Amino acid sequence: MNIIPLFIAIPLGVAFVLALMGKAKEIACDLVANGATFCLTVLSLVLLALIKDNQVLVYIMGKWLPPKGINLVLDGLSILMLIVVNTIAFFATLYSVSYMKRFTAKHRFYSLFMLMLAGMNGVVLTGDFFNLFVFLEIASIASYALVAFGVEAEELEASFKYMVMGSVASILILFSVGLLYGLTGSLNMADIGSIIQGKKNLLLSFSLVLFLAGFGLKAAIIPFHAWLPDAHPSAPAPISAMLSGVLIKALGVYTITRVFFNVFGMTLQLSWTLMILGVISMIGGGLLAIRQSDFKRLLAYSSISQIGYIMIGLGCGNYWGLLGALFHLFNHASFKALLFLNSGAVEYSTGTRKLKEMGGLSKVMPVTGTTSTIGSLSISGIPPFNGFWSKLFIIIGLVQAGHFVLTVLTILVSVLTLAYYLRVQRYAFFGTLKEKWAQIKEVPTPMCISMIVLAIICIGTGILFYPLMKAVFEPAVTVLQEGTKYSALILGG
Amino acid sequence: MSPLKQKEKGMTNIVKIVAKFVSPPIVLFGIYMVLHGHLTPGGGFPGGVIVASAFILLILAFGREMASQKLKLSTASTLESIGALIFLSLALIGIAAGGWFFFNFLPKGEPLRILSAGFIPLANIGIGLKVSGGIFAVFVTLIMFRITTGKGGR
Amino acid sequence: MVFFLSFVIFLIGLYCVITKKNLLKIVMGIVIMEYAVNFFLVLLGYRKAGVAPIVVEGARKANFVDPLPQAMVLTAIVISIATLAFIVAMCIRIYEKYHTFDVTEIRRLKG
């Protein structure tokens, strides 16, 4: 039980220790940071083995009982998010051992990275609204600093845009938390859930809309997406992988899910809202991605599109829809992180991100080329990779609920995804090798290891999805389907 | 004296002498506010800001060059990290002593005395160190930018 | 209807962020929005004929205003200090690179 606060305490402690270690050798900082993320990954898998049978663990901080005290809640959905966040963080820190050699002040990079990780772990674990806001802010501020890490002009502009929109989102969320406190007198999620059940109040709907706007801005759903195509390409590659693969899901999708399913309760209007927003994001992201000529910008628009898929699955609400959405969350984290790490490897070797300038790179960079092909096929939904299963489940869920127009649109956007990823592969990796790229070598070993292991996860999850489904995703779906009974589980036990 | 030379040396003599006299009591007031956080309004955050503002007053009065020898950025950074580590270790000792994170393990004396309320005074000290170091480091970093934008002496 | 007033101040801040062209005025808009939200939170704690929630000798059971929103506002103010410091540092760096504070000219990322 005492493992649970370690997910917040270890990254925070390591962040401040790394800030003190400015004069130490570089290899010491690398070892400390990678050791910490490896520890967290192992701990999250240990937690998965420890809890069984849809058990909900409630950790009470400082022995002050809820609803007055703050509690940390570990249920199926939190375990899924913890595994995703910590695993991708470990691969990102492993990758940045060699990628960040070009930047100075690597210990500051790791320190900010650990703060962002602590914030994300806190958001996923907490059971209290104001605590959620504080951890959300910690993670957001650390990510604003990380986007602007190499201080070029374009990175600063992107970070400024991201900061302004992120601050507006946080203020909206705080407004909504305050409104909920004024209406119910408590800040605990389970307590609020039990008080507002069945009540219809104009202020409650207003609070819900503010939450949708605030968390939707963090999750980059269209119409709140304008910061993402600038911020994700400008960040260094391991940070892009973390931002696109994990941060928008832990801060955006997870919080929307937790607040809408467990606290407010899903209604028909809410499901339709999520589905419409999902469809618009999916189509908009896909169409805007086709005409991009910058590798990372295309990947950023593709992220918007895939988050749209997750929203449609969540809005659908039946078993297959929810299972598909959560599985797609896991899958998207792994293959989008892999693709961003690939683009970072290409940038490390060739120094460019423009697709028209690359060509035939898989002859000189075999690892990057192969893993990139695996990632592109996974995200397009080709069997037997993992993207196929998650998109299939979402489509099954939509058909079962009777939304045939949405099903056709989903399948069309899936074909569109395949189209633009094949275009990327043709321009960047296949085709004739330009003379100026004939001398470049493959990237150093830590970067290769991260990419290879992520590619193995993509293939492995695709083949072994059935045991994974039973162990990890079913408890998460059960949590969402129980909905507002969450509050009785927390307060009762 | 040419105006350029006078600008580099800080403000006039009256401001310098008064700042030298006034800043130790300001630091003392800040420390008082930090330590009495569980009895009176205040605590770590406002107390830390007041302590930092005493040092900022010294920089404003004496100019950047003189102050950068005595009040270094690296000391502030180190203090900040140490403050955060004190707070985190208090929370972790709670696990060892009482079995729960953030458990209040020191004895809670009678209320309204300074040595009551468990570890809250120690936590306030940690927060006070962190906030004062942090705000001072932010200020010094922001004014250091003026050196590098040398175009036209803005 | 004092809560409605805090929402009006929030909208004024939002107007600043959306329409102003100077970087620093956008930052001021964010600061105004944060003030509006803190103001709203503190007002939530008001009780009729309440006194400040400080426990002194002999006044244990007086009619206190709610201290929980005050603790929330303290934390929110500290978070907004950190955000403000960071945004201002970003503005200074942007001025170094682009030599202007005008948002319509800082548009290298398009498409």
3-state secondary structure of C109: coil
3-state secondary structure of C102: strand
Annotate A121-159 with b (16+ C-beta within 10 A) or e (fewer).
bbbbbbbbbbbbbbbbbbbbbbbbbbbbbbeebebbbbb
Sign of the torsion angle spanned by Cα atoms A109, A115, A121, A123? negative
Query: Which CATH number is associated with domain C2-47+64-105?
Result: 1.10.287.3510
Q: What is the pLDDT of residue A133?
A: 94
A181 to chain B nearest CA, in Å?
Answer: 23
Residues of chain B in contact with residue A22, where contact means CB-CB under 8 angstroms, are: 77
Q: Is C78 on the interface with B (CB under 8 A)?
A: yes
Q: Which residues, at least 6 apart from A119, have a Cβ–Cβ distance to it below 8 Å?
A: A135, A136, A137, A138, A139, A140, A142
**Range B103-122 average pLDDT:** 69
Closest CA to A43 of A5, A17, A97: A5
Q: Which residues, at least 6 apart from C10, have a Cβ–Cβ distance to it below 8 Å?
A: A171, A175, C33, C36, C37, C40
The angle formed by the CA atoms of residues A263, A264 and A266, to the nearest 5 degrees, is 115
Residue-wise pLDDT for B36-51, tens only, equals: 888 788 888 999 999 9
SS (H, E, C) chain A: CCCCCHHHHHHHHHHHHHHHCCCCCHHHHHHHHHHHHHHHHHHHHHHHHHCCCCCCEEEEHHHCCCCCCCEEEECHHHHHHHHHHHHHHHHHHHHHHHHHHHCCCHHHHHHHHHHHHHHHHHHHHECEHHHHHHHHHHHHHHHHHHHCCCCCHHHHHHHHHHHHHHHHHHHHHHHHHHHHHHHHCCCEHHHHHHHCCCCCCHHHHHHHHHHHHHHHHHHCCCCCCCCHHHHHHHCCHHHHHHHHHHHHHHHHHHHHHHHHHHHHCCCHHHHHHHHHHHHHHHHHHHHHHHCCCEHHHHHHHHHHHHHHHHHHHHHHCCHHHHHHHHHHHHHHHHHHHHHHHHHHHHHHHHCCCEHHHCCCHHHCCHHHHHHHHHHHHHHHCCCCCHHHHHHHHHHHHHHHHCCHHHHHHHHHHHHHHHHHHHHHHHHHCCCCCCHHHCCCCCCCHHHHHHHHHHHHHHHHHHHCHHHHHHHHHHHHHHHHHHCCHHHHHHHHC
Low-confidence winner among A6-10, A132-136, A434-438 (lowest mean pLDDT): A434-438
pLDDT of A273 over the 60 cut = yes
Q: Is C48 on the interface with B (CB under 8 A)?
A: no
pLDDT band at A162 (very low <50, low <70, confident <90, very high): very high
DSSP C22: B
**Is B85 in contact with A13 (Cβ distance < 8 A)?**
yes
Distance in angstroms (rounded) separating the CA atoms of residues A272 and A371 = 37
Q: Is B91 on the interface with A (CB under 8 A)?
A: yes
B contact residues 32-51, partner C, Cβ 8 Å cutoff: 40-41, 43, 45
pLDDT of A96 over the 80 cut = yes
pLDDT of A417 over the 80 cut = yes
pLDDT band at B150 (very low <50, low <70, confident <90, very high): very low
Do A148 and A155 meet the contact criterion of CB atoms below 8 Å apart? yes
Query: Quick one: what percent of chain A has pLDDT higher than 90?
Result: 26
Domain membership of residue A1 (yes or no) is no
**Range A317-326 average pLDDT:** 87
**Range A375-404 average pLDDT:** 87
Q: What is the pLDDT of residue B151?
A: 43
Do A299 and A232 meet the contact criterion of CB atoms below 8 Å apart? yes
Closest CA to A243 of A119, A420, A79, A422: A119
Distance in angstroms (rounded) separating the CA atoms of residues C38 and A171 = 10
**Is A20 in contact with B103 (Cβ distance < 8 A)?**
no
Q: Is B144 on the interface with A (CB under 8 A)?
A: no
How many structural domains is chain B composed of?
A: 1
**Is B141 in contact with C88 (Cβ distance < 8 A)?**
no
Domain membership of residue A402 (yes or no) is yes
**Is A141 in contact with C83 (Cβ distance < 8 A)?**
yes
Residue A197: CB atoms within 10 A of its CB come to: 12
Residue-wise pLDDT for B30-39, tens only, equals: 999 998 888 7
pLDDT of B144 over the 50 cut = yes
3-state secondary structure of C100: coil
Distance in angstroms (rounded) separating the CA atoms of residues A334 and A73 = 25
Q: What is the pLDDT of residue A143?
A: 92
pLDDT of A62 over the 50 cut = yes
Q: Which residues, at least 6 apart from A48, have a Cβ–Cβ distance to it below 8 Å?
A: A79, A83, A471, A472
What is the model's pTM? Answer: 0.92
Do A96 and A238 meet the contact criterion of CB atoms below 8 Å apart? yes
Closest residue of chain B to C86, computed from CA coordinates:
B138
Residues of chain C in contact with residue A234, where contact means CB-CB under 8 angstroms, are: 109
Distance in angstroms (rounded) separating the CA atoms of residues A469 and A392 = 14
Q: Is A13 on the interface with B (CB under 8 A)?
A: yes
Residue-wise pLDDT for A63-85, tens only, equals: 777 777 788 888 888 888 999 99
Q: What is the pLDDT of residue B113?
A: 64
Distance in angstroms (rounded) separating the CA atoms of residues A320 and A298 = 29
Q: Which of C57, C78, C95 sits opposite B45 (nearest CB)?
A: C78
Q: What is the pLDDT of residue A172?
A: 93
Residues of chain C in contact with residue B41, where contact means CB-CB under 8 angstroms, are: 52, 54
The H-or-E segment that residue C104 falls in is none
Residues of chain B in contact with residue C56, where contact means CB-CB under 8 angstroms, are: 112
* Cis peptide upstream of residue A67 (ω within 30 degrees of 0): yes
Q: Is A59 on the interface with B (CB under 8 A)?
A: yes
**Is B111 in contact with C55 (Cβ distance < 8 A)?**
yes
pLDDT of B13 over the 70 cut = yes
User: ipTM value of the model?
Assistant: 0.94
Do B42 and B36 meet the contact criterion of CB atoms below 8 Å apart? yes
A488 to chain B nearest CA, in Å?
Answer: 23
Q: Which of B41, B45, B142 sits opposite C88 (nearest CB)?
A: B142
Closest residue of chain B to C96, computed from CA coordinates:
B149
**Is B81 in contact with A60 (Cβ distance < 8 A)?**
no
Residue-wise pLDDT for A182-236, tens only, equals: 888 888 888 888 888 877 788 888 999 999 999 999 988 888 888 998 888 888 8
One-letter amino acid identity for B112?
L
Give which of B130, B136, B149 to mutate to test C binding, by max C Cβ within 10 Å: B149
Residue C4: CB atoms within 10 A of its CB come to: 7
3-state secondary structure of B119: coil
Residue B62: CB atoms within 10 A of its CB come to: 20
Distance in angstroms (rounded) separating the CA atoms of residues A392 and A459 = 16
Distance in angstroms (rounded) separating the CA atoms of residues A50 and A346 = 40
Query: In this predicted model, which residue has the larger pLDDT, A353 or A395?
Result: A395
pLDDT of A459 over the 50 cut = yes
**Range A151-180 average pLDDT:** 90
Reading phi first (left if > 0) and then psi (alpha if -120 to 50, else beta), residue A373 is in: alpha
pLDDT band at A49 (very low <50, low <70, confident <90, very high): confident
Closest CA to A290 of A413, A387, A391: A413
**Range B92-113 average pLDDT:** 67
Beta bridge partners of C51: C64
**Is A17 in contact with B82 (Cβ distance < 8 A)?**
no
Give which of B74, B77, B79, B88 to mutate to test A binding, by max A Cβ within 10 Å: B88
pLDDT of B100 over the 70 cut = no
Q: Is B145 on the interface with A (CB under 8 A)?
A: no
Beta bridge partners of A74: A57
Q: Using CB atoms within 10 A of its CB, is residue A21 exposed (0-12), middle (13-18) or buried (19+)?
A: middle
Closest residue of chain A to B79, computed from CA coordinates:
A20
Q: What is the pLDDT of residue B153?
A: 35
Domain membership of residue A308 (yes or no) is yes
DSSP C105: G
Closest residue of chain B to A72, computed from CA coordinates:
B101
Domain membership of residue B153 (yes or no) is no
3-state secondary structure of B1: coil
Residues of chain B in contact with residue A2, where contact means CB-CB under 8 angstroms, are: 95, 99, 101
Q: What is the pLDDT of residue B140?
A: 86
Closest CA to C101 of C109, C92, C110: C92
Q: Is B32 on the interface with A (CB under 8 A)?
A: no
**Range A104-133 average pLDDT:** 90
DSSP B154: -
**Is C74 in contact with B45 (Cβ distance < 8 A)?**
yes
Q: Is C54 on the interface with B (CB under 8 A)?
A: yes
**Is A163 in contact with C41 (Cβ distance < 8 A)?**
no
Sign of the torsion angle spanned by Cα atoms B133, B136, B138, B140? negative
Q: What is the pLDDT of residue B152?
A: 38
Q: Which residues, at least 6 apart from A93, have a Cβ–Cβ distance to it below 8 Å?
A: A33, A34, A37, A110, A113, A238
Domain membership of residue B154 (yes or no) is no
Our measurement of the distance from residue A180's CA atom to the centroid of its chain's CA atoms, rounded to an integer in Å, reads 27
How many structural domains is chain A composed of?
A: 1
Q: Is B84 on the interface with A (CB under 8 A)?
A: yes
Residue A470: CB atoms within 10 A of its CB come to: 10
Q: What is the pLDDT of residue B154?
A: 32
**Range B104-109 average pLDDT:** 65
Residue B144: CB atoms within 10 A of its CB come to: 12
Residues of chain B in contact with residue C55, where contact means CB-CB under 8 angstroms, are: 111-112
pLDDT of A484 over the 80 cut = no
**Is B100 in contact with A60 (Cβ distance < 8 A)?**
yes
The H-or-E segment that residue C67 falls in is none
Query: Quick one: what percent of chain B has pLDDT higher than 70?
Result: 72
pLDDT band at B7 (very low <50, low <70, confident <90, very high): low
Do C7 and C1 meet the contact criterion of CB atoms below 8 Å apart? no
**Range A301-327 average pLDDT:** 89
B contact residues 100-119, partner A, Cβ 8 Å cutoff: 100-104
C contact residues 82-101, partner B, Cβ 8 Å cutoff: 85, 88-89, 92-93, 95-96
Residues of chain B in contact with residue A36, where contact means CB-CB under 8 angstroms, are: none
Residue-wise pLDDT for C18-49, tens only, equals: 999 898 999 999 999 999 999 999 998 888 87
Low-confidence winner among A146-150, A199-203, A234-238, A270-274 (lowest mean pLDDT): A199-203
**Is C96 in contact with B40 (Cβ distance < 8 A)?**
no
Closest residue of chain C to A130, computed from CA coordinates:
C72
**Range A81-98 average pLDDT:** 90
Residues of chain C in contact with residue A167, where contact means CB-CB under 8 angstroms, are: 30, 33-34, 83, 87
Closest CA to C43 of C4, C17, C15: C4
Tokens of A13: 């402690």
Tokens of C30: 């964010």
Q: What is the pLDDT of residue A3?
A: 80
The number of C-beta contacts closer than 8 angstroms across A and B is 44
Domain limits for position A463: 6-492
